[in-house]
Chain A
Amino acid sequence: MLLTGEFADREATVTALRALRAKGFDPEAIDLYSPEPVELEPGLLDRPSRMSLAAVAGGVTACLLAVAFVYYTQTSYPLVTGGMPIFSLWATGVIFYEMTMLGAIAATFLLFLWESGLLGRRAFPAPEALDPGRIYLRVRCEPHQLVTAGECLFEAGVVRVKKDKLP
């Protein structure tokens, strides 16, 4: 079942979230929708992220590709310019640096799309219209958990609750 609670302020939403977590609801089963980001304490609704790692991996990969490409272009027709070695780190270091950063930037953007869910199809549609100033908390639960989840929302001061079947 999908239980969606509409809240008027951040404090009530956080209270409901705390209660849901205390009752054993997993962060994976909870979604929060808001027109602005809602600041939550650490551990309440953390989403694991590999974005920093992806940025490093993207940078390293792009750097290696840049080194390979520059090495290939310079050795395929070995032309001496300015008395520099054919493959010179001094003369090409800037290119490696810029390509490293480009790889890191591209990887960050791709991971943003992936982790935010904007790339793939969503398993559950979002609430239809986000009312400005309202925060929506949605819980996926088994039928036997419905009452517990509902209690968490009501005790926190939910404005409205909507119950849907899982698509």
Chain B
Amino acid sequence: MAAALEIPHDRLRQDLWRPLRGAGAWYIVAVVLVGLLVGWGLFAWGYQIRTGIGVVGKRRPVMWSFYITNFVFWIGISHAGTLISAILRLTHARWRTPVTRAAEAITVFALMIGAMFPLIHLGRVEVFYWLVPLPNERGLWPNFRSPLVWDMTAIFTYLTGSVIYLYLPLIPDLAQLRNHAAGWRRRLYKLLSLGWTGSDREWQALERAMKLMAGMILAVAVSVHTVVAWDFAMALAPTWHSTIFGPYFVAGAIFSGIAALLLVMAIARRALRLQAYLQPLHFDNLAKLLLLMSLLWVYFTVSENLTVWYGNEPAEMAVLGERLRGRYAPLFWVMVVCNFAIPFVLLGIRRLRSIGTATLSAAAVLIGMWLERFLIIVPTLARPRLPAAWGTYSPSWVEISITVATFATMAFLYLIFCKLFPIVAVWEYKHASDR
């Protein structure tokens, strides 16, 4: 780490700005591939809007399905950045510098993707503004006391804060890029760098703002996923009406966020040739965090299911039975393997812990956490309190296409971001080395 931090300034710029120049064959292939998937997802959404919401698999009683699973999953992923970056910033963790921007970008993109799902779920997207708590004179009778309104305000605040939190430390890098770029890039960087000169007034204001923002964004991030959890917990549905849903969701969000960050870092390290900057130490530290969150996730999952089992309430037992040994049991046990067994073995045994196993564990956790969100939502809705209303759910090609497209959208946005902005903050890296 120390050796890497002593990289001269010119080499730093050369290495970290290299990905901004030109586009290699792999980049074009990747953009085309994910672009096609995004296009397919947009086609599926267009088909749903044109034909009607009946083209999706959600039916009474399972009215929340893939779309809300994706919503919760992506909002969870968004905790990668801001939360992790803010914690590391506030605790002055020196190793954070190559990691923070990659994490903050994940937050913004994941939030943008997640926030799309209430709109997609609506079916009639043209009436999305009915969600806005405007006065009742329009005769819409929206329920202002609904947790869904909490969601809207929480996500809007988090998105605004996260964009600012990503943007602030980008400004000095943008100013440096402005001084060395030409053409449209120079115009773009000039516009975004706001005339940054590198004066001590600017640095001091930036440092103060980042400290304040880190504290505030932590509070907002925790509240956002708590509010998402309360969407469920406020309903008197079996296994949802739980007091630990807030912290359970927040822990799960941080868990999946770290996994997303590890995966993005592993890809960026190889694709952008950043081996000197994203070092085994960074993966090792994040892998330990991932392992810790895995254990915390197990604790919450056991607590949640044990209280349901011990209570032996028939409606809740029906849902638990569906999860553990019924229709959804295969998904449940795959989730346990992905979220616990794989990270526990690969990251818990020191000799096995490496960049490769950390990446593999991260990929497994992402699958596991998506399944966890699905298993929280669908079995409960499929087994309501009235047995006569029980039903099943199978996703249609539209839901599957849109779900796949969200992952492609994340990749697409990241590919664009990597071409426009350095994925590692040059000035922060240099500053850390000077200290």
- On A, residues with C-beta under 8 Å from B are 10, 31-40, 45, 47, 49, 51-52, 55, 69-70, 72-74, 76-77, 79, 81-82, 84, 88, 91-92, 94-95, 97-99, 101-102, 104-106, 108-109, 111-113, 115-118, 122, 126-127, 129-130, 132-133
Neighbour of A108 across the interface among B136, B150, B209, B219, CB < 8 A:
B209
Q: Are A51 and B205 in contact (CB under 8 A)?
A: yes
Q: Are B216 and A82 in contact (CB under 8 A)?
A: no
Annotate B158-196 by CB proximity to A: 1 below 8 A, 0 otherwise: 001100100010001000100100000000000000111
- Known A-B contacts A32-B200, A118-B195, A132-B13; A102 and B160 likewise in contact (beta carbons under 8 Å): yes
Q: How many B residues touch the partner, as a band?
A: 35 or more
Neighbour of B145 across the interface among A55, A69, A91, CB < 8 A:
A91
Neighbour of A49 across the interface among B13, B200, B204, B434, CB < 8 A:
B204
Cβ distance A22 to chain B, nearest Cβ, rounded Å: 18
Q: Are A94 and B154 in contact (CB under 8 A)?
A: yes
Q: Are A77 and B199 in contact (CB under 8 A)?
A: no
Q: In the complex, which residues of chain A have a beta carbon less than 8 angstroms from the beta carbon of B197?
A: 33, 122, 126-127, 130
Q: Are A84 and B145 in contact (CB under 8 A)?
A: yes
Please report the C-alpha to C-alpha distance between residue A82 and residue B236 in the assembled complex, in whole angstroms: 12
Q: Are A101 and B220 in contact (CB under 8 A)?
A: yes
- Known A-B contacts A81-B143, A97-B223, A98-B154; A133 and B195 likewise in contact (beta carbons under 8 Å): no
Neighbour of B164 across the interface among A40, A105, A115, CB < 8 A:
A105
Please report the C-alpha to C-alpha distance between residue A47 and residue B434 in the assembled complex, in whole angstroms: 23
Cβ distance A102 to chain B, nearest Cβ, rounded Å: 4
Q: Are A92 and B201 in contact (CB under 8 A)?
A: no
Closest A residue by C-beta to B217: A105
Please report the C-alpha to C-alpha distance between residue A115 and residue B216 in the assembled complex, in whole angstroms: 19
B207 within 8 A of A: yes
The 15 sampled A-B contact pairs (Cβ below 8 Å) are: A32-B199, A35-B176, A37-B206, A37-B427, A47-B200, A47-B205, A49-B208, A81-B145, A95-B153, A101-B157, A112-B209, A116-B202, A122-B197, A126-B197, A130-B198
Please report the C-alpha to C-alpha distance between residue A127 and residue B200 in the assembled complex, in whole angstroms: 13
Cβ distance B140 to chain A, nearest Cβ, rounded Å: 9
Q: Are B153 and A98 in contact (CB under 8 A)?
A: yes
- Known A-B contacts A73-B144, A102-B156, A112-B205; A35 and B136 likewise in contact (beta carbons under 8 Å): no
